[in-house]
Amino acid sequence: MNRIYKANILFTKEKSRFEILENGYIAVDDNGCVIGVAKDLASIDGEGAEIIDFGDRLLIPAMNDLHVHAPQYRNQGIAMDLELLPWLENYTFPEEMKYADTAYAERMYRRFVRDLWRFGTMRSCVFATIHTESTRLLMNIFEEAGMGALVGKVGMNRNCPEGLSESVESYIEGMEALMKEKGKSLVGTIITPRFVPTCTPEMLRACGELAAKYHLPVQSHLSENKDEIAWVAELEPESTCYGDAYNRYGLFGQTPTIMAHCVWSEGNEVELMKRNNVMVAHCPTSNFNVASGMAPIRRYLNEGLRVGLGSDISGGHDLSIFRMMVYAIQVSKMHYQQDHNLPFLTLSEAFWMATKSAGSFFGRVGSFEPGYEFDALVIDDRDLNHDNYTLLERIERYIYLGDDRQIVHRFCRGKEVVLCCGQAFK
Amino acid sequence: MNRIYKANILFTKEKSRFEILENGYIAVDDNGCVIGVAKDLASIDGEGAEIIDFGDRLLIPAMNDLHVHAPQYRNQGIAMDLELLPWLENYTFPEEMKYADTAYAERMYRRFVRDLWRFGTMRSCVFATIHTESTRLLMNIFEEAGMGALVGKVGMNRNCPEGLSESVESYIEGMEALMKEKGKSLVGTIITPRFVPTCTPEMLRACGELAAKYHLPVQSHLSENKDEIAWVAELEPESTCYGDAYNRYGLFGQTPTIMAHCVWSEGNEVELMKRNNVMVAHCPTSNFNVASGMAPIRRYLNEGLRVGLGSDISGGHDLSIFRMMVYAIQVSKMHYQQDHNLPFLTLSEAFWMATKSAGSFFGRVGSFEPGYEFDALVIDDRDLNHDNYTLLERIERYIYLGDDRQIVHRFCRGKEVVLCCGQAFK
């Protein structure tokens, strides 16, 4: 049966402004897709639909996280005093090795998915580890929760500890097993070479071939810091830029592609990203914590690149994509402070990046326009709304001041996603 | 009667490292001062003291906020898309004018103090407005709560709306009334010229004379953004730098002085601050939100300046001083990224800035060394502590991931500060 939700509805059809429907209505069909959204019930096609009234609450599109490392969940918020190399060697790699143990993986991955849920993230692009079994487990946990995810078994076979290196053959075998597992569900797999330095040309070639053969999307890291860029230039001397090192293996937009960070992309690389429709996963907290730098997102938007937001746990310390919006705006204000020709990101632009722009990687996700999948959050902001704020001020206050406490309902593809009380989400 | 608290105790005697006492003890006397802190009960002087056991919880010094505008509390987290001037004209100044109405002031100030309490801030340096009566009210609310504060009736008489301009005579009269009000309590008044552009030379002179006559501390804004610095140079052409414009009127360290922001201080100004022992209130979220820039705190520490942290509501959007530590570290990482001769701030340094360094402005506050006033928070981090983290990792996770929910007890000068259920803290 169709359903109609009544609430204060806010979303960003265009990045330049919020659509705001005070006491508006949104009709959703049996497939979980939006039929229509309107200020009054009469102008909506909801014959015989059940009406669910959320009163004075805010109804907004759910969050999308375009870059997050699930197996680094335990390391969230620790070891921030370390430089990149000791951090990888002493914290990240040893932790990822533990995911050979599926019991450990299950315990941690359930917590991870629960916390994505808490913060209202209904779709994610996730790095797992090299381990096929625990990656399958993570996919199943998302499936069980009813949350959308593209989960990547990580490809890596050089410049990493032995316990995290896998042969190309074994990688292909594992990917093919995972890929066939999922049909039309909310969960799928994604080709995930960790990044150029940890992948031999053979591994990159295998990744590109799998992507082409099965038309699978791709995710990796790009131009996060300057030492890394220099290293890639050494490893792949024939590439014209870091991005080209992926491009030469069919991993740069030949199928839908997300590249995380892009702090230092310019010239050729940006051109190539634009031509190939490669999407940027902007991870501002991580870029601060790992001392990478501040990605020039206004410049990328001006050049026509697609941009979404990512938490990048555990380089990033915060799972909330709302908090990423705040950081993205703040980073853009530092670019603006240096160059007034780069206007800072507005609230609606940051919101649009986290919803409609990022959501586009998952299909028609991230807006409330007709035909979009109904991924939504209901925000009860009474405790932040003590003085008759406008709806625009209320969403701004929620984004800046709110947290998981104010999220009282979560929907993914039309279905309410409820936290299980049982084993699943302990 | 003396009391002994048992818990996992962490504090920063030196900025370079945490003192960590697993299952340690701290003895506090009747005046609320620390007698001693030790790993075992036998080595502590607590004859006949009551022992309060906080079990596995963390016990740390409470937070100090060195720069916050109480009457901008309503505007917290809104209007962030505006540039400084329209923000002042349309949001800040109109809001501050409402504080002529003591009923409005009481409602808002009670919420404000409640929220400082929530986030564990037990001492604050606060800008109020020009209004003597509502400033008195704010002082009384802090007093009633049992929280420490230096509250400033704001001096301003030019370049501001008529409703926020006050004659020098009226300012002096109001300040003298407020000043005499408080004796040896936790709450006092502080000379608060808003900043040079809103104060005529007569107002600045009156402020300096009051500070000297009654030995009152001083707070104001300094070198927050480049346009402001240029404006001050125009207004006070005889000053060698912005700071000197305060110095010439006896408002720059002649009595204990806090200057907020100092994003662009250098050369002469830093020298003068060092010589006069002027303290920097570093407000990193505000500096981002208002597009001011990133204050070079490592450089200031290297030069021997005193530095504490400030939330700067509502330029800043977050009352949590723990969140300020994270931002301070992140800002320092951007300086480090540009110049590896400026090592980024470590966690213990950020914690020390928020506790022992900032606390020194209020007396012996911010550490657990003998003789320090017992300002403390008890943190129940069970929900963040799912995998046997070390105590150092636990405090780091709390600082990066925690919020008000994990603060389960708050102490100021030895007394537990409890949220009233009645009218006071609605």
pLDDT tens for each residue of B284-313: 999 999 999 999 999 999 999 999 999 999
Chain A residues lying within 8 Å of B111, measured CB to CB: 386
CA–CA gap between residue B210 and residue B208 (Å, rounded): 6
Q: How many A-B residue pairs are in contact by the CB < 8 A criterion?
A: 94
Q: B116-149, pLDDT tens digit by residue? A: 999 999 999 999 999 999 999 999 999 999 999 9
Instruction: Return the CATH fold of A3-61+366-418.
Output: Urease, subunit C; domain 1 (2.30.40)
Read off the tokens for B247. 């110095």
CA–CA gap between residue B381 and residue B371 (Å, rounded): 28
Chain A residues lying within 8 Å of B401, measured CB to CB: 76-77, 317-318
Residues of B at the A interface, defined by Cβ within 8 angstroms: 74, 76-81, 108, 111, 285, 288-294, 317-318, 326, 329-330, 333-334, 336-337, 344, 346-347, 384, 386-387, 389, 393, 396-397, 399-401, 403
Residue of A nearest to B290 (CA): A333
What is the pLDDT at residue A45? 77
Chain A residues lying within 8 Å of B81, measured CB to CB: 346-347
Residue of A nearest to B295 (CA): A334
| Complex ipTM | 0.97
- B347 closest CB neighbour out of A81, A291, A333: A81
Domain map (residue ranges) of chain A: 3-61+366-418, 63-362
Cβ–Cβ under 8 Å, residues A225 and A292: yes
What is the pLDDT at residue B47? 75
Residues of A at the B interface, defined by Cβ within 8 angstroms: 74, 76-81, 108, 111, 285, 288-294, 317-318, 326, 329-330, 333-334, 336-337, 344, 346-347, 384, 386-387, 389, 393, 396-397, 399-401, 403
Task: Please indicate whether, in this complex, the C-beta atoms of B326 and A317 are within 8 angstroms of each other.
Answer: yes
Helix axes B132-145, B102-118, angle to 10 degrees: 30
> For B3-61+368-417, which CATH superfamily applies?
Urease, subunit C, domain 1 (2.30.40.10)
Query: Which residues in chain A land under pLDDT 50?
Result: 421-426
Task: Please indicate whether, in this complex, the C-beta atoms of A387 and B74 are within 8 angstroms of each other.
Answer: yes
What is the pLDDT at residue A183? 60
pTM of the model: 0.97
Q: List C-alpha distances in Å: B129 to A87, B60, B223, B330.
A: 47, 33, 21, 32
Cα torsion angle, A257, A263, A267, A268, sign: negative
CA–CA gap between residue B165 and residue B199 (Å, rounded): 9
Cβ–Cβ under 8 Å, residues A254 and A276: yes
What is the pLDDT at residue A423? 41
B interface mutation test: which of A81, A109, A322, A329 has the most B CBs within 10 A? A81
Cβ–Cβ under 8 Å, residues B376 and B365: no
Residue with tokens 């040893």: A94
Q: List C-alpha distances in Å: B13 to B64, B304, B325, B351, B406.
A: 16, 17, 17, 10, 24
User: Within A153-225, where are the H helices?
Assistant: 168-181, 201-214
- A401 closest CB neighbour out of B291, B317, B344: B317
Helices then strands, counting H and E runs in chain B, come out as 15, 17
Task: Please indicate whether, in this complex, the C-beta atoms of B288 and A336 are within 8 angstroms of each other.
Answer: no
Cβ–Cβ under 8 Å, residues B282 and B335: no
What is the pLDDT at residue A84? 83
Task: Please indicate whether, in this complex, the C-beta atoms of A288 and B333 are within 8 angstroms of each other.
Answer: yes
Instruction: Return the CATH fold of A63-362.
Output: TIM Barrel (3.20.20)
Q: What is the pLDDT along chain B (426 residues), one digit of tens a residue?
A: 799 999 999 999 999 999 999 999 999 999 999 999 999 998 887 778 899 999 999 999 999 999 999 999 999 999 999 988 899 999 999 999 999 999 999 999 999 999 999 999 999 999 999 999 999 999 999 999 999 999 999 999 999 999 999 999 999 999 999 988 766 689 999 999 999 999 999 999 999 999 999 999 999 999 999 999 999 999 999 999 999 999 999 999 999 999 999 999 999 999 999 999 999 999 999 999 999 999 999 999 999 999 999 999 999 999 999 999 999 999 999 999 999 999 999 999 999 999 999 999 999 999 999 999 999 999 999 999 989 999 999 999 999 999 999 999 999 999 999 976 434 444
Neighbour count for residue B336 (Cβ, 10 Å): 17
Read off the tokens for A39. 């200020």
Among left, alpha and beta (phi > 0; psi -120 to 50; other), residue A321 is alpha
B interface mutation test: which of A226, A333, A341, A347 has the most B CBs within 10 A? A333
Chain A residues lying within 8 Å of B77, measured CB to CB: 384, 396-397, 399-401
Task: Please indicate whether, in this complex, the C-beta atoms of A76 and B400 are within 8 angstroms of each other.
Answer: yes
CA–CA gap between residue A180 and residue A174 (Å, rounded): 10
Chain A residues lying within 8 Å of B344, measured CB to CB: 291
Task: Please indicate whether, in this complex, the C-beta atoms of B337 and A77 are within 8 angstroms of each other.
Answer: no
What is the pLDDT at residue B346? 98
Cβ–Cβ under 8 Å, residues B49 and B34: no
